[in-house]
Structure 1
């Protein structure tokens, strides 16, 4: 589901007056001649065709030339086998493309330099989907330059070696870059980047990043369509590393690591099926706030076999400090929302706040006026739900819902300069449903969720190193902070980021990581992925060694 098709940004933005739409950007796509369209390309084409800001004019077909980047035979064999085993996916149904296919020109790239074709095309920019040098006359006639994604340079045929080098080197994340080249500055420059948690397979890693790269590319294309300004490069040309194919040593090292990963996954699957393996989280609480807490000094609230606690939220009410959390037992496949009280002597369970047949987590509890609300993650119900307290803390009634049919997770509401905002991790996907890769922002009318307006730069954060929410948004000393998960080293919830939100309005979003908490503040931990605070007390969760 495309969020832009369901929710459109209001044209009366800022001034309240409708502005005349700019002429659509005329786009050409360079592809390899005879190569079938990949799913990520079809997703991109569908979005371009659905957006009136763009006009997909032509496919410019190129042939592979001698001397270009080629991977060795061993690398090709490993990548092709890896892809056949772990990166297969169903075909993407590109309905708009099928209807519009006859209106999109298909031209050999070399022919574009001829005066007739150049004048007929009049392209604003080219998207390079194939690693081939563009003729200088083509580049000179592109006011918005040539755009390319980094995975384009790690591809031959239907196989990709993207991720093999990262995994053989034990890199914590894989990086996706969006490059720009212009006639005035023909060197490849980075204009946007994202980091993604590594998968157990390089082929799966590459397929996943390709799908998510559409989000990054479309966001930047929408930006230039609205502003008509080229992005400012994030790195100097000489800082852009060449994406060379891995050699025999790296490929062999990766093949050995892949065999080990497959064996470990098979063992985990067997153990989970026998209810012999459950992820166990524990809680740590102490005194401090989001900008100064020290997790090494925290006191543990340990789990039990029937009460494994995660996603903790604190709530101060009538002089008492309540703790809401995701609760499950060893062997459980779903969790419910439980609540307890933190007292001077420790922690006292109270009971179940919300249950049901679906998995519930992330019990974001907040106050508005005289009423108390609870917004848990209800991903399995494919919507966002808000509940209102009838008899706090155990009895709740449905209050509002939104995003019906959408795959959302870890949503949070907050006020900033008098305006309500909803941040949620929405998964727009075909083959890879994932809630760690993209953060979306919406202006809303408060807990009623009757008015929902998407941010102009959605998704405002791309990449599993910082995108997923890890608790509520905090305003402290006139600074805005967002806890975010650091998903890396192949581990969900490996670490915790403290992001400072530097700009938040309907035109832009900017944040910076001011602190990163790794699972080394206590012995025996393998992850930490959630933070909350109330008054002078904070709490976070951490994953225990299996």
Structure 2
């Protein structure tokens, strides 16, 4: 198969409906990528068939979307209805058999590689068999009627920790359903909000898989898609859902009032002990408690001239902006040294590292819409701006690491229109070191998608011959709920593969609500934990 030709894609849409934001984003991204070709827009005249819902669900979902999922209309940069509806076909028939022309001759004339289905009803199986890579769809496209979307209701009713996004295909001679990719996202306040966020993240996931297929033309999908159909919520389900939503909204309103009165901030504490990333036991750790005027988070350790220093995000209770402070260990206690870096914008995640005889720090500066590298001119309190990169973007929790003689930048960007989210997409770049004059993106960025694994939680370690990456596990509606240790099994500009080898949840000490960062040096480790306040 010729991989130099673009992948020819058809998009199946419902008759008589305006495009949703996520659908326009998909069309736009396909047209923007030279590896992909929007070959046809196919119309389904009976796209919702038996998918009917009650008036109560329709009214409630509309009201909920207005309250919790409002977003500006997406303005297409490449897709233009006056130009791209030329190849628009009444491809799938009405129930009475009229209006369709999905014949083998028709498909051969279109010469499509695959079709993306945005509707609950799809193409007939005999048509799908003629597509080399089948018919693709998301699980959220299956959970909708002509006027209502019920994706996410079942998760909130079940008090699930996450909402799962699945991209699957009907493929092959038997038109078998096979899984292409999946990602899990932190549960939201409401189903409408969660559904809107997942749809936006789904665009990124879809485009990554399409470009991967365009590059390889290989479609080896051994996992059968076994997700059961999720029916629309019943009347009793809706009553129970309304009680859950009312309680969640009331709790959030109370927290918002406290925050406005400057009496509420996320309160983090630190725990330290002896051990390495491969064997640390947080239940045996010693607490370094916060005070009202000194809350510490995102701790990084740094060994210098025989002493262990602690760099961390520092703020007082009620603050909305943090700075970078530094302390020095005396046994298992930390003596304050001073302020290492303060800017007009929020700073956190001070990744401190050495390159030769120079010391650098990459703090999180996403509010400045760029990545900043600072060089130490006088340790540990004097720093000067050394380099910037990713101008106009919003990188979070960035780490520079050297592996097999190459420098790699790991960072959490957010590919978004309405819902910026630093917890769900991990991007990798090969760079020339702290100068960042050469930045080459990974071929399949973002290499990790999903709030349970994507966001960085500390520096990357080489330990016992393995490359280990701490990551956040954002679940249960809590930012920073847990901590993963991921083993990176493959790291090149063409491929990335990792697996979770350990997860730490806040149960290792009483009274904790989360834990989301880890670092270690010279036999000492440190992590932060969120207090249950």
Fold conserved (TM > 0.5)? Answer: yes
CA distance in 1, matches of 2:162, 2:400: 29
- Residue in 2 aligned with 1:13? none
**Contact persistence 2:13–2:43 (CA under 8 A):** yes
- Residue in 2 aligned with 1:7? none
- Residue in 2 aligned with 1:164? 153
- Residue in 1 aligned with 2:404? 417
- Residue in 1 aligned with 2:46? 64
Q: Secondary structure at the match of 1:188?
A: strand
- Residue in 1 aligned with 2:359? 372
> Which aligned pairs between 1:287-436 and structure 2 lie closer than 5 A?
287-344=274-331, 346-436=333-423
Moved more, 105-114 or 201-210: 105-114
CA distance in 1, matches of 2:385, 2:82: 44
Q: Deviations over 1:116-143 (max 9, x none)?
A: 6333311110000001131234212211
Which residue, 46, 53, 56 being the options, matches 2:35?
Answer: 53
Alpha carbons of 1:140 and 1:112: their partners in 2 closer, same or farther (altered >3 Å)? farther
**Contact persistence 2:14–2:47 (CA under 8 A):** no
CA distance in 2, matches of 1:141, 1:66: 23
> Which aligned pairs between 1:138-287 and structure 2 lie closer than 5 A?
138-233=127-222, 235-237=223-225, 239-287=226-274
CA distance in 2, matches of 1:358, 1:254: 39
CA distance in 2, matches of 1:172, 1:329: 30
Alpha carbons of 1:189 and 1:174: their partners in 2 closer, same or farther (altered >3 Å)? same
Alpha carbons of 1:264 and 1:545: their partners in 2 closer, same or farther (altered >3 Å)? same
Q: Secondary structure at the match of 1:109?
A: strand
CA distance in 2, matches of 1:436, 1:266: 23
TM-score, normalising length: structure 1? 0.93
CA distance in 2, matches of 1:186, 1:493: 41
CA distance in 1, matches of 2:345, 2:141: 40
CA distance in 2, matches of 1:452, 1:223: 21
Q: Deviations over 1:77-118 (max 9, x none)?
A: 322221121111100110211277346411112334246633
Q: Secondary structure at the match of 1:179?
A: strand
Say whether residues 1:479 and 2:461 are aligned partners.
Answer: no
**Contact persistence 1:197–1:488 (CA under 8 A):** yes
Give, in angstroms, the shift of residue 478 of structure 1.
0.7
CA distance in 1, matches of 2:491, 2:285: 32
Say whether residues 1:495 and 2:482 are aligned partners.
Answer: yes
Which residue, 55, 59, 77 being the options, matches 1:73?
Answer: 55
**Contact persistence 1:224–1:231 (CA under 8 A):** no
Alpha carbons of 1:442 and 1:212: their partners in 2 closer, same or farther (altered >3 Å)? same
Report the count of equivalent residues.
525
> Which aligned pairs between 1:506-517 and structure 2 lie closer than 5 A?
506-517=493-504
Give, in angstroms, the shift of residue 477 of structure 1.
0.7
- Residue in 1 aligned with 2:96? none
> Which aligned pairs between 1:15-30 and structure 2 lie closer than 5 A?
22-30=4-12
- Residue in 1 aligned with 2:95? none
CA distance in 1, matches of 2:238, 2:491: 44
CA distance in 2, matches of 1:100, 1:53: 23
Alpha carbons of 1:65 and 1:105: their partners in 2 closer, same or farther (altered >3 Å)? closer
CA distance in 2, matches of 1:210, 1:448: 37
CA distance in 1, matches of 2:441, 2:101: 38
- Residue in 2 aligned with 1:128? 117
CA distance in 2, matches of 1:102, 1:499: 43
Give, in angstroms, the shift of residue 241 of structure 1.
2.0
> Which aligned pairs between 1:450-465 and structure 2 lie closer than 5 A?
450-465=437-452
Structure with bigger RCO (C-alpha 8 Å, 6+ apart):
1
CA distance in 2, matches of 1:403, 1:473: 21
Q: Secondary structure at the match of 1:282?
A: strand
Give, in angstroms, the shift of residue 505 of structure 1.
1.2
Moved more, 185-194 or 509-518: 185-194
Say whether residues 1:448 and 2:435 are aligned partners.
Answer: yes
Q: Deviations over 1:53-84 (max 9, x none)?
A: 11101111112368633333333332222112
Give, in angstroms, the shift of residue 378 of structure 1.
0.3
**Contact persistence 2:286–2:332 (CA under 8 A):** no
TM-score, normalising length: structure 2? 0.96
Alpha carbons of 1:345 and 1:412: their partners in 2 closer, same or farther (altered >3 Å)? closer
Q: For structure 1, which runs of at least 5 residues remain unmatched after alignment?
A: 1-19
**Contact persistence 2:295–2:314 (CA under 8 A):** yes
Give, in angstroms, the shift of residue 475 of structure 1.
0.5
CA distance in 2, matches of 1:334, 1:373: 22
Give, in angstroms, the shift of residue 256 of structure 1.
0.9
Q: Secondary structure at the match of 2:426?
A: strand
CA distance in 1, matches of 2:442, 2:378: 35
Moved more, 260-269 or 274-283: 260-269
Which residue, 93, 100, 105 being the options, matches 2:87?
Answer: 105
- Residue in 2 aligned with 1:15? none
CA distance in 1, matches of 2:487, 2:86: 44
